[in-house]
Every structure is written in C-alpha cells, then in structure tokens.
Structure 1
Amino acid sequence: MKEKDTVIIFTAKKARTLLKMGYTLVDIKPDKMDVDHKRSVFVFKNDDGILENI
C-alpha cells in the first residue's frame, strides 16, 4: 500500500507546532465540514517523523 504524500491538520495550534519543528506546509484550505466557513485545514508534506509528532 502506498503512503500518502500529505497529512491534514485540523487545528492551528498543532499546525504552528509542526511549523516550528521544521515541517513543510504545502497548502491551507477552507474546512468543508465547517458550517460557519471560518475554519481552515493545514496540509503538510508527509516528512519523516511527522506522524509521530501529531
């Protein structure tokens, strides 16, 4: 089974932590599940160790 190229993060706090740890942010998109259309999701590159730090 092929490993995904990206990881989706749903909170700004966790995204900020991952950025400070040096992980690569690929994109920021609106959260389609948010009825108020105020939230965003953060797309990170699936680098070594990112899943352990989530």
Structure 2
Amino acid sequence: MKDSIVIFSATRARELLKAGFQIIDIKPDRKDKTHMRSVFIFRYDERIQQYLKEMYM
C-alpha cells in the first residue's frame, strides 16, 4: 500500500495544497545537478490520485 506520492512540480504541489491535500515533506531533487529543484511529498489517499487524473488527463 502506498503511503506517499512524490510531486516534481511546484505549481502542481501548490494546487494540491490549495485543494486541501496534506504535504508530508519537501526534499531536494537528487537528480538535479544544480541543486535548485525540490520534490514535494504528499500523503497518499485515493482522492489525490483521482484529483490528479481529473486535472491532467
């Protein structure tokens, strides 16, 4: 069972926060060699999966 979902876009992370989803952590993107990007970890639930499908499909 999933307990988190990783979002790579700050814009999408902001939208999820405004929609009421809970952020767990913010970490540096390990693949970014400039060390300027972050990844956003949200608590997983079925609603977040459905929200992302509806918004970006």
2:27 aligned to which of 26, 29, 36: 29
Moved over 3 A (4+): none
Alpha-carbon deviation of 1:51? 0.9
Determine the C-alpha separation between the residues in 1 that align with 2:42 and 2:24. 5
Q: Give the number of the structure whose residues are more often helix, by fraction.
A: 2
Alpha-carbon deviation of 1:52? 1.6
TM value normalised by structure 2: 0.85
Gaps of 5+ in 1: none
Matches within 5 A, 1:1-54: 3-54=1-52
Check conservation: 1:27, 1:42, Cα contact below 8 A. yes
Post-superposition CA distance 1:6-40 (Å, at most 9, x none): 00000000000000000000000000000111000
Question: Across the two proteins, how many residue pairs are aligned to each other?
Answer: 52
Identity over aligned pairs, percent: 48
CA RMSD of superposed structures (Å): 0.8
Alpha-carbon deviation of 1:47? 2.3
Gaps of 5+ in 2: 53-57
